[in-house]
Amino acid sequence: ARAAGEAAAAEARAAGEASALRALADAEATARRLRAEAEADAIRAEGQARAESIETEAEAIASNQEAILSQRVLDVLPSIMAEFAKGYSAIGNVSIVGGGSGEEGASRVIGADSATAMKSVFDSVQAATGIDLATIIQGQAVGRAFGSGMADAAASEPVQVATSRRTTKPKAE
């Protein structure tokens, strides 16, 4: 009887340990599953945010295509003009016959050549893209001048604020 009792106790202990191990394994599996779901949710949310960002950027580009293209062209314009100017750097001496005297004659000819080259670049950009760089540059210059003038005016003229005082008379009883 004693051996049977010990065997039953050992069996009960083994069943208890097995049950505890199963519960621990289930808890670990549940924890892993929850971590994986949380990670998947985070990845999904990041992907969705990235997709929305790309979509918003695409909409902005579509609605402001001309402005963006104009800005990009203006960004590369200095390098275009630098390449144009490289041609002048190879010139050692310039001899101009006729057309004026001294600096005025040479300056006029070289200035006219530079202006013609710049106009040619602007015309090429407009023909290729439909963007009128001269108008854009002039618009920016006018806008900056206007903004600068407004800022100067605001800085130099103090603003007068009208104040009023309301006085109340005591009511006659």
CA distance 124 to 131: 10
Per-position pLDDT tens, the chain of length 173:
788 888 889 999 999 999 999 999 999 999 999 999 999 999 999 999 999 999 998 888 788 777 777 777 778 878 877 887 777 777 777 666 665 555 566 666 666 777 787 788 888 888 887 778 778 777 765 666 656 666 666 666 555 555 555 555 556 55
117 within 8 A of 110, measured Cβ to Cβ: no
Residue 115, helix vs strand vs coil = helix
pLDDT of residue 75: 84
Give the model's pLDDT for residue 163: 55
Give me the amino acid identity at 42. A
For 143-161, write each residue's pLDDT tens digit.
666 566 666 666 665 555 5
Dump pLDDT digits (tens) for 50-76.
999 999 988 887 887 777 777 777 788
In whole angstroms, give the CA distance from residue 41 to residue 49. Answer: 12
E strand residue ranges, the chain: none
Domain ranges of the chain: 1-63, 65-153
Hey, what amino acid is at 110?
A: I
Q: What is the structure's pLDDT at 155?
A: 64
